[in-house]
Amino acid sequence: MTLICSLACIAIGTMYSNFSSFARQLKERNIWRAAVGYPAAAFALLEAVEFFVDNYRLNAKLLTAAVILIVGALPIALIWNWCHGQLGVQTMGKREVWSYGVTTALTLIAVSWYWAAWPEPVPDDLVEFSRPADMSIAVLPFQSADGSSELDYLRDGIAESLINKLSVIPELKVISRFSAFSLRDQIGQPQEIGRQLNVDRMLSGQLERHGDDLIVRATLVDTRDGRELWGARFVRPMTEILKLEDIITSDIATALQLELPAGAAAFRGSDSVDPIAYRHYLQGRFLAHGSTGEEIDRGLRHLREATAIDAAFAPAYAAIADAMIVKAFFSASAPTEIVGEARTAAQSAIALNPDLPEAYASLGSIKLFFDYDWPGSEDAFRKAISLGPTTSTAYYRYANLLTALGRFDEAVQMAGKAVESDPISIGALHAFGFAKLMGGDFEGAVAAFGNAIEIHPGWTWGYVKKSLAHALMGDRDEALVMAQQTEELIGGWGSAFLQGWLAWVYSVTEQEELLQRVAYRVGQGIEENRIEEPFGVAITYLAVGELPTALDWVEKTVVEQSPNAVFWNVGTADHMQLGPAELRENPRFNELLRRMNLIDD
């Protein structure tokens, strides 16, 4: 026992002696400087990184990367102070150099792995609006009780207004207009609608006009089992459509045991609108969603009449802005005048009602496609999403902005939110696949466009962009199959834009005969004045390698404000295989990119 106690005392004494020696060396080698100074320096560095990320819109992953670098550099700081903190010790041994090299390599590997494996996080001010809702609903267009078309604008208009009003309830996910309205023919199949749109509630109804009164029957159904959860019949004068919408919204919220936020009626700026102006607004919105320029123009006439009757009706100005933007997309000439009216309308809507998400979405689109004001566009889209988190248009146009800027991880996230809100919307589905395509995730693009084609079998753009994704990932046979299906769908021409994408596919797959055939068709289109916009022509000449002619058409896209010009920087990246190798070094091309603020001086 005595021996054990003696050994224990010796061990303790040795440990104490070693600890004292170690503590003395820590003091002599000034390790305390690293222990005190390093955290302070690290904090200052992180503050600086956070400042630049927040104020210069840098990739948010830089902050985490900086943390990894700081943690990795800590052993280097400690080793340096241990070896050189004592006065007069200046030489570096091989073991010390080796430890620096290994630590640096491991740190850089960790940063590289994080950067490649993790997507950029959603900005803090958008996280709140990305959380899943507790309940979901699709509002289908109402039906006419007698089958007449007289009330078509009300059937769609009342349903769209209910979508807008219900979307302010945080706990309720509301499917956007496009997806819900595309299933109008399946109104008697609530379970199928629930499956396609991934919702658990469906609202439908019937309209009937009796003299000056409007009779509305509305029904809320559980799409999981087809049970009716709520139903009501309303009779109101035609001049009280707004009041009727508010009553239905309130009753539905009560039936779902949800609470409407305070001021929900004023959210859309429609609480005190002239009833005649409101009817013009509904008619204008109905027509503006049409598929032809003539329908859009008729819709604009109604919307302008609404603002003439009620000059303070903010949603009518926002609707004008949105319709004008769509019109500018399909304009055959420089859309300066069209965009000017759209800008004025969007700014008027915001001035009248600063909480109108549609107005900010339109303003963001103008700044994106026509002003090349990237920070202004991003601010507008983020504002639109914060005010209307179920507005799919803001999500997928924001995704287009992020794609144009090469922020592909964020673009995929935003486009994913658009698809979640509007699972059948072509705009949302396209933005999702396009972000993956431009970002080099060709396998993901194939899957995304394949899913879109399943939903919309006649969507030509889904075929041609899936074809390009196959071509870029080296799957030539499947690329040519999809290209052939595209050719069959368009019946020979389609548009210069479609021809340009086909030329791109044939260039990547090295199909010279097919490529020259497309180039000939585009040349004929130019001679016959059938070129609706220059972007497709520019792509065609890049694909065939005629750089001077291609640059003439690239410049034309910028001068004429082609909305697709914003994608020139990402579309000509090396992995996209478009144009001659010297394109990216061409001074004229780079000057055009600078004019669009896509590259720095």
pLDDT in tens, 563-583: 899 999 999 999 999 989 889
- On whether both 317 and 285 belong to a single domain, the answer is yes
Q: Is the pLDDT of residue 556 over 80?
A: yes
Distance in angstroms (rounded) separating the CA atoms of residues 372 and 365: 10
Domain count along the chain: 5
The CB density around residue 189, as the number of other CB atoms within 10 Å, is 15
**Mind listing the pLDDT tens digit for each residue in 511-526?**
999 999 999 999 988 8
Residue 140 and residue 208 in one domain: yes
Q: Does 123 reside within a domain?
A: no
pLDDT, residue 34, reads: 59
Mean pLDDT (whole number) for 22-50: 64
For residues 294-302, average pLDDT: 87
Where is the domain boundary, 384, 417, 448?
Answer: 384
How much is the pLDDT for 517? 94
Pick the last residue of a domain from 83, 118, 153.
118
Answer yes or no: is 310 within a domain.
yes
109 and 134 part of one domain: no
**Buried-exposed string 553-563: b where 16+ CB fall within 10 A, e elsewhere:** bbbbbbebbbb
Domain contains 125: no
Q: For residue 249, what is the domain's CATH number?
A: 3.40.50.10610
Q: pLDDT tens digit string along 313-349?
A: 999 999 999 888 888 776 655 567 788 889 999 999 9
Please compute, for residue 501, the number of CA atoms within 13 A of its CA located in the half-sphere on the CB side.
Answer: 23
Helix axes 426-438, 442-455, angle to 10 degrees: 160
Binned at pLDDT 50, 70 and 90, residue 368 comes out as very high
Q: Are residues 426 and 497 part of one domain? A: no
Whether residue 484 is contained in a domain is answered as: no
Comparing 195 with 81, which gets the higher pLDDT?
Answer: 195
Query: Looking at residue 360, which CATH number applies to its domain?
Result: 1.25.40.10
Main-chain phi, psi angles of 172, to 5 degrees = -115, 120
Angle at 199 between CA 436 and CA 205, to 5 degrees: 125
User: How does the average pLDDT of the chain come out, rounded?
Assistant: 82
pTM > 0.75: no
179 and 109 part of one domain? no
Residue 55 is assigned to a structural domain of this protein: yes
Does 395 lie in the same domain as 379? no
For residue 21, the enclosing domain spans: 2-118
Q: Looking at the structure, tell me whether residues 587 and 562 fall in a common domain.
A: yes
Best CA proximity match to 154, nearest among 216, 202, 212: 216
For residue 101, being part of any structural domain is answered with yes
Q: What is the pLDDT of residues 454-496, one digit of tens each?
A: 988 888 999 999 999 999 999 999 999 999 999 998 887 778 8
**Does the residue 106 lie in any domain?**
yes
276 and 378: one domain? yes
**DSSP state string for 147-198:** --STTHHHHHHHHHHHHHHHTT-TTEEE--HHHHHTTGGGTT-HHHHHHHHT
The highest-confidence range among 2-11, 84-93, 235-244, by mean pLDDT, is 235-244
Q: What string of DSSP letters covers 108-125?
A: HHHHHHHHHHSPPPPPHH
Domain boundary among 260, 283, 316: 260
Does residue 378 sit in the same domain as residue 397? Answer: no
Same domain, 56 and 114: yes
Give the length of the chain: 601
d(CA 350, CA 44): 40
Question: Is the residue at 282 inside a domain?
Answer: yes
Same domain, 470 and 498: no
Residues 165 and 243 placed together within one structural domain of the fold: yes
**Cα–chain-centroid distance for residue 72?**
35
Contact 404, 368 (CB under 8 A): yes
Listed range (46-55, 76-85, 500-509) with the worst mean pLDDT: 46-55
